[in-house]
A and B are shown apart, each in its own frame.
Chain A
């Protein structure tokens, strides 16, 4: 069986990780944010969660059947990230459509997790904002930001996200936050951005995969977030993070390519 949908990035770094194990780690990291979103937004959020999960898994099973591959269950994490981003007031058929779009066009048409170029959850959220008039994304509360942190730590320790991406994105956000709103509101800038940074921008599929490239990619994502942020005041609009992530991840392969070229040139200069 060659059906393992191994992420190329993970394959290089930790070949012991099976796709299902990666999914499991991400699900554990997402449990707290999803729990907080249900606690904050009530029973309607459970409907959103169930619809997103069922839709995503049906698509993954359909593609696994057609392609005769093993399930990685990874679309479940797409569903959970999307659940946190989607407002509970969203009609369930819109949830199903956006989740279908994200998971099919963001991941499955490319061949599954690790083969695409954008984060499936970001694609789903972007579809939501563009398609339905009045459908905004849910705002991120302080409790949500706190709940994101343990998961972020777990993913960092497991090597599933890169600290370089996070550090350079946060550095850019802090620099612009200081320049725009002063030191008092920095905390608000970071709390509203942290969930998107950890689960969308730092997603290894969306992010660059060379070490210096990750710094550049994180910085680019941070810069785009600042550019796209349309809300007055220090809080970051959730849509700004989604679109910054989509655009930055389109540049990730180019950043990696340039970094490899530079490394080759440096080596040639050293060894003649």
Chain B
């Protein structure tokens, strides 16, 4: 496997959200506007990339019995630094993201990549794997954030693009888009689309319904 592979494959082929279905909770919570989605994407990508590198660097010295504790400690340290950085330099944004930056610690995606990849691969591939997965996560977040903000408010990044009915225009904002279920629907549609384009991602059904006609000889 080439280095490029670690970076490219999580974008669509092995996307953490649409294939592994990890990191869904933050994908729902921070995508009401595009700006929060961008900030969250950057924060998570940095955490993934750094934690992958650091954990990989220490992988020969981490005792297997307490590896999860050490991984979480490393991830938490990086997250705290990023959280403090955001509170210092982007206070408004950090207030809007509230607890979700801190919750990157518990994001299944971060621990998943640490445990599955960084613990048994050299530093450079691990950092690239973190970066690639972060970018795959970001790609989905940006698409969902763009759709939700545009359809829900008629603007992007807080800038109105079309005039809403309330301002005398023609665009009627979809209130549902600002509520969490809409992120589920958009994610569901994206998973569907990806699996139509790449049928190898389709899971085998756990059971099949039998119709009356199947039973007839």
CB atoms of A132 and B172 under 8 A apart: yes
Is A6 touching B211 in the complex (CB atoms < 8 A)?
A: yes
A260 → B minimal CB distance (Å): 15
Which residue of the partner chain B has the closest CB to A114?
A: B209
CB-CB < 8 A to A179: which residues of B?
none
Within 8 A of B (CB), among A112-151: 115, 127, 130-133
Interface residues on A, range: 10 to 19
Q: How far is the CB of A257 from chain B (nearest CB, A)?
A: 14
Interface residue ranges of B17-70 to A (CB < 8 Å): none
Q: Is the CB of B209 within 8 A of A105?
A: no
Partner of A130, one of B179, B188, B192, B209: B179
Residues of B within 8 A of A133 (CB): 175
With an 8 A cutoff between CB atoms, is B8 at the interface?
no
Asked if A158 is at the interface (CB within 8 A of a chain B CB), the reply is no
B174 within 8 A of A: yes
Q: Are B209 and A127 in contact (CB under 8 A)?
A: no
User: Which residues, 1 to 37 on A, are CB-close (under 8 Å) to B?
Assistant: 1-2, 4, 6, 8, 11, 15
A50 within 8 A of B: no
Contact pick for B212, options A6, A91, A127, CB 8 Å: A6
Measured between beta carbons, the chain A residues less than 8 angstroms from B209 are 8, 115
Interface residue A185 (Cβ < 8 Å from any Cβ of B): no
Are B175 and A2 in contact (CB-based, < 8 A)?
no
Q: Are B212 and A11 in contact (CB under 8 A)?
A: yes
User: A94 near B211 (CB under 8 angstroms)?
Assistant: no
* Pair A1/B213 contact, Cβ less than 8 Å: yes
B214 contacts the other chain (Cβ, under 8 Å)? Answer: yes
Q: Per-residue 0/1 for B185-200: is the Cβ within 8 Å of any A Cβ (1 yes, 0 no)?
A: 1001000100000000
> What are 22 of the A-B contact pairs (CB < 8 Å)?
A2-B211, A2-B213, A2-B214, A4-B211, A4-B213, A6-B211, A8-B209, A11-B211, A11-B212, A15-B212, A91-B172, A94-B172, A109-B188, A109-B192, A115-B209, A130-B175, A130-B176, A131-B174, A131-B175, A131-B177, A132-B172, A132-B175
In order of increasing CB-CB distance, the 7 nearest A-B pairs are A131-B176, A130-B176, A131-B174, A131-B175, A15-B212, A2-B213, A2-B211
